[in-house]
Amino acid sequence: MTRPSIEFLRVIESLSEGVVVHDAAGQIVEFNQCALEVLGLSADQLLGKSDVDPRWALLRADLTPLPPDEVPSVEARLTRRPIYRRRIGVRLPGGDYRELVVSALPLLSPSGEVEQVVAVFLDISRELAVVNELRVFELFFELSADLFVVATPDHRVLEVNDAVKTVLGWPSEKYFGRGLLELVHPDDVALTLSQAAEYTTRLQAADGSYRSIGWHVARGSTPHLGEALFLRGTDVTQRLAEQRQIGRSRELLDEAFELAELAVIERDLVESTAHLTSRLRELLQLDEGSGLTATTLDQFIATDDLPRYRAYLQALTPNTPPPPLQLRLRTARDEPREVRLWARRITDGSGVGTRELVVIQDVTQQSLLQAKLRLAERLTSLGTMAAGVAHEINNPLAFVLANLNVVKGELAALPPIPGVDLVDLRDAVNEALEGAERVRQIVLGLKPFARIDEHQRGHCDVVRIVEASLNMAKNELRHRARIVTDFQPISAVFANEARLGQVFLNLLVNAAHAMPDGHAAENRVTVATRQDGDQVVVAVSDTGRGIPAEVLPRIFDPFFSTKQIGEGTGLGLFISQGIVKDAGGVISVTSTLGAGSTFEVRLPVAVGTFTGSSTTPVPARRRARVLLVDDEPSILRSLQRLLSKSHDLTLAHSGREALAKLNAGLEYDLVLCDLMMPEVSGIDVWEQLTPAQRQIFVFMTGGTFTERAERFLAATNPPVLEKPFTATTLEGLLLKASRDER
């Protein structure tokens, strides 16, 4: 494949659209400066990447992930056909969101193979926001009961709204050009042509009568019309008629906003009054007849966001529309809302603001969805990492433990040796075994977080999940409090391990943050489990600062946080409550200011749970015939040292070698086979076994990190020996195998 020519690169640099060039493998090999500016990325962040790179997320219009085969450049490469004007969203590494219109053109070789794909994209994010805002004000102009006229400085009419046509009754063509001026009473023409900012003139209606109209005139300019006059008029023929018209104006204005289902507050800056649409009253949960205690939204805006809101309004100018502002509100019923708002200020002829219009959009659910998407991405990353770490540690740890057990057994059998302190050697081996066992327990604690599918559910050992969460939170807790545990025997629950682990980890981190750093001896975090009838109860208590009574009812609200800005999203307890509720349980809190808090999670006992009964070992009848299968030579050697004195062992270093030995007619009492092996895995071996062979088959695994392995274990539920296993566990399996009659 040849590099793009210098002429081609010069052409794309001159374009105002972003351009990226992909090679035949889908990697980005060229791009223009506009592409970097639109995406907010550096050249290093873009070069060599693909459209489906995990550093950014491609989304549909409904914010669901865009499948790889629907990405324009990928689809163009696969179909060898151009893709035109595909609209997609992209979530960039820094969290920014862009709306793009993308076209992709495949460049084919003479043989018809795709050599390159050129993708051109236009950022329409700003344009969409402007269009939406303009629609609001177009509705205001068209549906207002006030008379609106746009004219040139010499009073040639360019535009009128429906109110003008309604009041005067003439058809549309009557007003344009000099038409409206011809309707002015002869005695009022001079006043109309004056430079006054406010005046009243009489205009002839279609029925021959004259209507008195009070005009407010503002002078300004537009990108397309240049200098223009903006006239707002009110029919003031009679004082009663004026009052009725004002009432009708308000009614029509309300109707305009209601038809558009807009949440709007309109402030009269001169009279210090405010008018709210019913949609805004609904959003703020205002009861019928209630109103604002002030003429602004200040009383509903979160304290932390109030300075930004006030600065936003202060910076409003008539000719420069500001970008939308995202804020947190508290409704009249003290419920949280996440909103996006737009504001405009209307001025008189001297530039003094007379009215202010604020349009509000409730984006609470959208923000929650985005937070959940980010959480799902983090859970997936954590699960993949945990599974990989567990697998890589468990394999070497398995042969470390096995070899230490061999050394321990040999030392125990040695007679006294002059000059050798056997007691010290035995203590050293025992300490090494203890350390390896601690590592095994730590790695085992990663298991609840190593789930590929966050929606997967099963019978969960809650105590083990809590212990894993304690290990994860240890660094947060160790400098702040002593940890006290009280784990009473409890039944299993039916839930998702990773999501439950997230709940307990969040509660533990919150407990740590409730106490000052550096005072661990004075503070305590207590974690307890107990069974209460058909419910499992987990309680996390701290001796921290406690939660004020007025705040306590709000702590599970979305976006509510008692932490400083930047220290929390306000979604931790809200999401935890959702996870517990999804598992059929409830989460509650009790707190005393200055004395600490207790969070209690109640979960229903899983149907059909049972506890295994222990088996008292009995002497083996004979040596067991065991086939050991693992691609890790060190594991095979360590197991051989550990077992060869008591059992007859056959070793296989791969799945293919294991199948050959199983098909050779030899009989075995037990087959211990690694689950994850290259080329022919343990799953591949299982699929070729007879039913009788499967009865003696046990998988060894240091952790599963592929979807195939997860699905296989969930569907088949075969016997599994978790690496690293203890000598006692292994001997129990072999004892059973040696006693079974064949």
Residues 226-249, mean pLDDT to the nearest whole number: 66
Helices assigned H by DSSP within 473-571: 474-478, 497-513
pLDDT reported for residue 452: 44
Highest mean pLDDT among 57-61, 196-200, 395-399, 515-519: 196-200
- Checking if the pLDDT of 48 tops 70, the result is yes
Residue 599: its pLDDT value, please?
A: 92
CA 465, CA 445: separation in Å to the nearest integer?
7
- SS3 for 606-662, per residue? CCCCCCCCCCCCCCCCCCCEEEEECCCHHHHHHHHHHHCCCCEEEEECCHHHHHHHH
Q: What is the pLDDT of residues 662-682, one digit of tens each?
A: 888 788 889 999 988 888 999
Structure tokens at 719: 């016997």
DSSP classification of residue 286: P
pLDDT digit string, tens, across residues 111-143: 889 999 999 988 877 666 555 555 555 666 666
Band (46; pLDDT cuts 50, 70, 90): confident
Phi-psi region of 26 (alpha: psi -120 to 50; beta: other; left: phi over 0): left
For residue 167, CA distances in Å to 142, 170, 280, 693 come to 14, 9, 30, 94
Question: How distant is the alpha carbon of residue 391 from its chain centre?
Answer: 28
Top CATH class of 6-123 equals: alpha beta
What angle is formed at CA 55 by the lines to CA 53 and CA 58, rounded to 5 degrees?
65
**What CATH number should be reported for the domain whose range is 261-362?**
3.30.450.20
Query: Mean of the pLDDT values across residues 681-698?
Result: 90
Structure confidence by residue, pLDDT tens digits, 536-573: 999 999 988 888 887 777 777 765 565 544 444 456 78
Dist. CA 679–CA 501, nearest whole Å: 34
Q: Which two tokens stand for residue 267?
A: 């402030």
The answer to whether the beta carbons of residues 718 and 689 sit under 8 Å apart is: no
130-251 is classed CATH 3.40.50.10420:
no
pLDDT of amino acid 586: 92
Q: What is the pLDDT of residues 693-731, one digit of tens each?
A: 888 899 988 766 577 887 888 888 888 887 777 666 777
Question: In this predicted structure, what is the pLDDT of residue 528?
Answer: 94
Comparing C-alpha atoms, which of 736, 632, 621, 612 is closest to residue 674?
632
Q: Are the beta carbons of 20 and 9 closer than 8 angstroms?
A: no
Read off the pTM. 0.36
Pull the structure tokens for residue 82. 């151009």
Both structure tokens of 693:
């062979």
Q: Which two tokens stand for residue 166?
A: 């309604």
Q: At the topology level of CATH, where does 455-612 sit?
A: Heat Shock Protein 90 (3.30.565)
**Chain centre distance of CA 346:** 39
Average pLDDT over residues 495-500: 80
Checking if the pLDDT of 68 tops 90, the result is: no
Query: What pLDDT is attached to residue 565?
Result: 42
* Two domains, one topology: 6-123 and 261-362: yes
Runs of H (alpha helix) within 446-546:
462-472, 474-478, 497-513
Q: Which residues pair with 614 in a beta bridge?
A: none
DSSP letter, residue 416:
P
Do residues 558 and 375 lie in contact, with contact meaning Cβ atoms separated by under 8 Å? no
Burial 286-295 (b: 16+ CB within 10 A, else e): beeeeebeeb
* Residue 403: partners with Cβ closer than 8 Å, 6 or more residues away: 638, 641, 642
Q: Would you state the pLDDT for residue 598?
A: 92
pLDDT at 536: 93
**What is the chain's alpha carbon radius of gyration, rounded to the nearest angstrom?**
37
Q: How high is the mean pLDDT of the chain?
A: 78
The pLDDT assigned to 545 comes to 86
Is pLDDT of 619 > 50?
no
- By 3-state DSSP, what share of the chain in percent is helix, strand and coil, each rounded to 5? 40, 25, 35
Q: How far is CA 95 from CA 39, 62, 378, 381, 383, in A?
A: 11, 17, 14, 17, 22
More confident residue, 99 or 349: 99
Domain ranges of the chain: 6-123, 130-251, 261-362, 363-435+617-742, 455-612
In the predicted model, is pLDDT for residue 359 greater than 70?
Answer: yes
Q: For 363-435+617-742, give the CATH class.
A: alpha beta
